[in-house]
Amino acid sequence: MGNINEKVMQALGAVIEPELNRDIVSLNMVRDLRISDGIAEFTIVLTTPACPLKDVFVERCNSALIGKVDGIKRIRINWDAQVPTDRRIHGRLDVPMNSIVAIASGKGGVGKSTVATNLAVCLADAGAKVGLIDADILNPNIPQMFGLGSGRPKVANDKMQPLEVFGVKLISTGFLTSPEKPMIMRGPMLHSAIRQFFTDVEWGRLDYMIVDLPPGTGDAPLSLAQSFPLTGSIIVTQPQNVAVSDAIRAAAMFDQLKAPVLGVVENMSGDFFGSGGGESFAESRGLPFLGRIPLAADIRKGGDYGRPVAIHSPDTPSGRAFRKMSEIAAARISVAMLQGADVIPIDIIG
């Protein structure tokens, strides 16, 4: 039986992971192989629970084994997921986070917080452990988008306890202040507030920390990048040229900060604002295009009433667009980590 196990593993060594362009055996994605009555049963450990490529794996594993390895008539694949860990985070933060992803934009009003919200709930719904920091300290919108306008975090063991809804752990200045009072801070205070949201909150272990940045290229993104090792950033833009030109500046800022841009999202796409500007920007910079989100009333209502459309209306065009975007974004995060020199390989993830 050991001989046929070896033949099966050798055959699976020809199955290439589509995003990483490496075989699934050398990546240690194949686990717990059992062969009985002509059935090869094994587990594939994905790099994200939001992986959109399960059908591809099934097709490629079938092609590699059926008719190629004597005695194997059928396969049965079980699924698991382990998000890779960025070693730089592991070494610099006393917080068990596998990745830190900034959601950024060059200008305000492009729906950056809406994208951050729906990305976070999609990843959590897929089974990931997700945190979301509202780093738009002066104009926090995340509490409303999650229906937590009156929420207040508790304190235990000298640490704030994040609020949790839709499986996402949240912290925001909107939980700490009255919505009628303006937040007035200089740069050093912003820097301190962002650091405290990482270090003074009891997050627990997280696969993804999503950070919703304020628009532009000011103090907040600089503080974040200088204080914590970013796995990467996602740039949100509208389709029209004035939004794209600002998005170009945001991407250039992350280039200077040595934080990879994981991709571009074109939000509010459709007749009113046009379409294609975000995709053209991504192509011109050689960046992944993560998806086009339509300009739709259900997205606006979801944000106003604390019902993210990706969760409350997953089968609408808007819900499907956000889910597809989230799957592609999760794949790009995994690629960025596993291709980086400072990433803990999947085979030694605990």
Q: Could you report the per-residue pLDDT of 195-233, keeping only the tens digit for each?
A: 888 889 999 999 999 999 988 777 777 778 777 888 999
Per-residue confidence (pLDDT) for residue 227, from 0 to 100: 78
Please report which confidence band the pLDDT of residue 92 belongs to, taking 50, 70 and 90 as the band edges. low
Other Cβ atoms within 10 Å of 153 Cβ, number? 17
Residue 266 vs residue 109, higher pLDDT: 266
Of 156, 154, 136, nearest to 145 (Cα)?
136
Per-residue confidence (pLDDT) for residue 297, from 0 to 100: 94
Please report which confidence band the pLDDT of residue 3 belongs to, taking 50, 70 and 90 as the band edges. confident
267: left (phi over 0), alpha (psi -120 to 50) or beta: beta
CB 94 within 8 A of CB 199: yes
Q: Which helix (H) or strand (E) holds 169?
A: strand 168-172
Residue 248 vs residue 257, higher pLDDT: 248
Residue 141 vs residue 192, higher pLDDT: 141
Whether the predicted pLDDT of 44 surpasses 70: yes
Please report which confidence band the pLDDT of residue 341 belongs to, taking 50, 70 and 90 as the band edges. very low
The H-assigned helical ranges of the chain are 2-12, 54-65, 87-92, 112-125, 142-145, 187-199, 219-227, 241-256, 277-285, 297-305, 309-312, 317-339
Contacts of 59 (CB under 8 A, 6+ apart): none
If you average pLDDT over residues 264-269, what whole number do you get?
96
Q: What angle (nearest 5°) sits at the alpha carbon of residue 289, between those of residues 288 and 295?
A: 160
Q: How far apart are CA 32 and CA 14, in angstroms?
A: 18
Q: pLDDT (tens digit, 9 = 90+) per residue, 144-199? A: 999 997 778 888 888 999 999 999 999 998 887 766 665 555 555 666 788 888 88
Q: Could you tell me which residues are beta bridge partners of residue 170?
A: 132, 163
Cα–Cα distances (Å) from 58 to 11, 16, 28, 132, 268, in that order, read 14, 12, 17, 33, 35
55: left (phi over 0), alpha (psi -120 to 50) or beta: alpha
Q: What is the pTM of this model?
A: 0.89
Q: How far apart are CA 320 and CA 248, in angstroms?
A: 27
Whether the predicted pLDDT of 25 surpasses 50: yes
Cα–Cα distances (Å) from 116 to 12, 53, 64, 158, in that order, read 37, 23, 39, 28
Q: How far apart are CA 174 and CA 184, in angstroms?
A: 13
DSSP secondary structure of 27-60: TT-EEEEEEETTEEEEEEEES-TT-S-HHHHHHH
Domains and CATH numbers, the chain: 2-81 (3.30.300.130), 85-348 (3.40.50.300)
Per-residue confidence (pLDDT) for residue 166, from 0 to 100: 97
Length of the chain as a residue count: 350
In this structure, of 51-55, 73-77, 217-221, the range with the lowest mean pLDDT score is 217-221
Strands 85-86 and 168-172: unpaired
Whether the predicted pLDDT of 345 surpasses 80: no
Residue 183 vs residue 34, higher pLDDT: 34
